């Protein structure tokens, strides 16, 4: 049984092995091995070459279903493990998907083969849906692999995926008014005020309307926005998320009043993510910034959103799009269209760390990063020995190896509803 605590000698053993392999690569054995793996001239290119001699191999993969999250642990024969997080929309389904479809694509493989491993997980399961559950589940593995590689090399992940454009990012506090029992406008005002008390300088209220309650009557948004604006004052940025709840005509009507009466500058998901044409109409008509993209999962889908919907800011989420490997491609597509990214982020631990490592590494980071109400995630926060750092309204990019956080595996085991 492996130690539950990181073995401090494991990384040194890995580095010695890697250094030895690098030196050996000047000799015949390494060159010979590489030549043996090379495709014959004109022959087919293998989907994924076998691990080279001396390479680290993935030996185990476990899921921990927690009350508010699902964590993935990837273990290796180097004695070093990495932790990631899947999207939480349906945690039993995430567990199943990881263990029946994805795990077999990575076991026995070299964790440094990031791109071909991502391709194997995605394209071998593509018929199950390129958006939603597949990339949601893949994210847990991809993030664990990046965490693992950072730990093996002793570097924070942002140093492996592009380097540091920034060391911190302004956070906005994000909360929803609810689906079934909706909080009162007074409760919304108090929730928003708690963020400001914690030092945050921007807040988002999610109206959680959605397409099947489109254009609700009476219109609920103004009552909430009025109460929240009254509680936080004019000096705090207030973002409104319609959660896809309006037609273009209603969104334009609501957006004009939000801007004129309440000083709103950012409106998120005014229309259905299934209808980019309406988003484009809203962008054209309104004199405020439109954010969209939390339900786009791939570089191809984000390209369609940009070219058809033309939002001002994009908000993909690392735990929804299949991890940092795809986020970097999405960022490149977005940069080609001069679109900054404001990460969607509704989980306060590993997902937030992944978002921070990502925004550190890209030039087109938007003005904020979403951050949830940590008071709503008490148990999950207790699963971390060390979590993200919020100072002066900004989240600091973790600088420790990997994603930069320290999972308390004993606490995770106690908290878990299921371990597989
Ligand atoms: Mg949203």
Pairwise CA distance, residues 205 & 159, whole Å:
33
Counting runs of H as helices and runs of E as strands, what totals does the chain give?
16, 15
DSSP structure string for 4-54: SS--HHHHHHHHHHHHHHHHHTTSHHHHHHHHHHSPPTTSPPPSSPPPPTT
- Contact predicate 418/95, CB 8 Å: yes
Q: What is the DSSP letter of 2?
A: -
Least confident of 39-53, 106-120, 125-139, 231-245: 39-53
Q: Name the band, by pLDDT with cuts 50, 70 and 90, for residue 349.
A: very high
Question: What is the reported pTM?
Answer: 0.90
Mean pLDDT over the full length of the chain? 91
Expressed in angstroms and rounded, the spacing between residue 228 Cα and the centre of ligand 1 is: 18
Distance (angstroms) between ligand 1 centre and the Cα of 240 equals: 9
Ligand 1 centroid – CA 181 distance (Å): 19
Contact 350, 184 (CB under 8 A): no
- Cα of 315 to ligand 1 centre, how many Å? 8
Cα–ligand 1 centroid distance for 306 (angstroms) = 17
Mapping DSSP to helix (H, G, I), strand (E, B) and coil, where does residue 294 land?
coil
Q: How confident is residue 282, by pLDDT bands cut at 50, 70 and 90?
A: very high
Structure tokens at 140: 């847990």
Q: How far is the CA of 33 from the centre of ligand 1 (A)?
A: 49
Measured distance CA(62)–CA(104) in Å, rounded: 12
> Beta-strand (E) ranges in 216-338?
237-241, 266-268, 289-292, 313-314
Protein residues placing their CB within 5 Å of the ion ligand 1: 241, 268, 294
């Amino acid at each position: 049984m492996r130690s539950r605590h990181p073995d401090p000698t494991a990384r040194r053993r890995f580095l010695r092995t890697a250094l030895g392999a690098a030196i050996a690569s000047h000799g015949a054995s390494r060159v010979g091995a590489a030549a043996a793996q090379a495709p014959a001239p004109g022959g087919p290119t293998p989907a994924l070459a076998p691990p080279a001699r001396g390479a680290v191999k993935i030996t185990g993969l476990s899921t921990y279903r927690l009350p508010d999250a699902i964590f993935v642990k990837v273990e290796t024969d180097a004695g070093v493990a990495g932790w990631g997080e899947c999207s939480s929309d349906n945690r039993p389904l995430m567990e199943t998907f990881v263990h029946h479809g994805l795990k077999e694509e990575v076991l026995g493989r070299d964790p440094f083969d990031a791109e071909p491993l991502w391709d194997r997980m995605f394209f071998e399961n593509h018929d199950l849906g390129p958006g939603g559950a597949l990339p949601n589940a893949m994210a847990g593995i991809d993030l664990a692999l990046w965490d693992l590689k950072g730990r093996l090399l002793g570097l924070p992940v942002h140093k492996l995926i592009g380097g540091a454009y920034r060391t911190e990012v302004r956070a906005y506090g994000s909360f929803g008014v609810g689906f079934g029992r909706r909080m009162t406008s007074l409760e919304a005002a108090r929730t928003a005020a708690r963020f400001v008390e914690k030092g945050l300088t921007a807040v988002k209220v999610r109206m959680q309307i959605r397409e099947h309650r489109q254009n609700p009557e009476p219109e609920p948004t103004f009552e909430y926005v009025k109460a929240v604006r009254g509680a936080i004052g004019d000096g705090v940025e207030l973002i409104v998320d319609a959660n896809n709840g309006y037609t273009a005509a209603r969104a334009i009507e609501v957006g004009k009043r939000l801007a004129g009466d309440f000083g709103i500058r950012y409106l998120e998901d005014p229309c259905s993510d299934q209808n980019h044409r309406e988003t484009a109409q809203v962008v054209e008509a309104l004199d405020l910034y439109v954010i969209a993209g939390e339900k786009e999962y791939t570089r191809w889908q984000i390209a369609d959103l940009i070219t058809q919907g033309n939002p001002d800011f994009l908000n993909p989420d690392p735990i929804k799009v299949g991890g940092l490997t795809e986020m970097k491609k999405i960022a490149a597509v977005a940069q080609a269209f001069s679109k900054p990214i404001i990460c969607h982020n509704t989980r306060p631990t590993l997902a937030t760390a992944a978002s921070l490592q990502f925004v550190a590494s890209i030039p087109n980071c938007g003005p904020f990063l979403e951050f949830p109400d940590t008071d709503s995630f008490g148990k999950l926060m207790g699963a971390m020995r060390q979590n993200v750092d919020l100072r002066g309204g900004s989240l600091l990019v973790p600088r420790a190896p990997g994603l930069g956080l320290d999972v308390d595996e004993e606490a995770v085991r106690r908290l878990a509803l299921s371990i597989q």
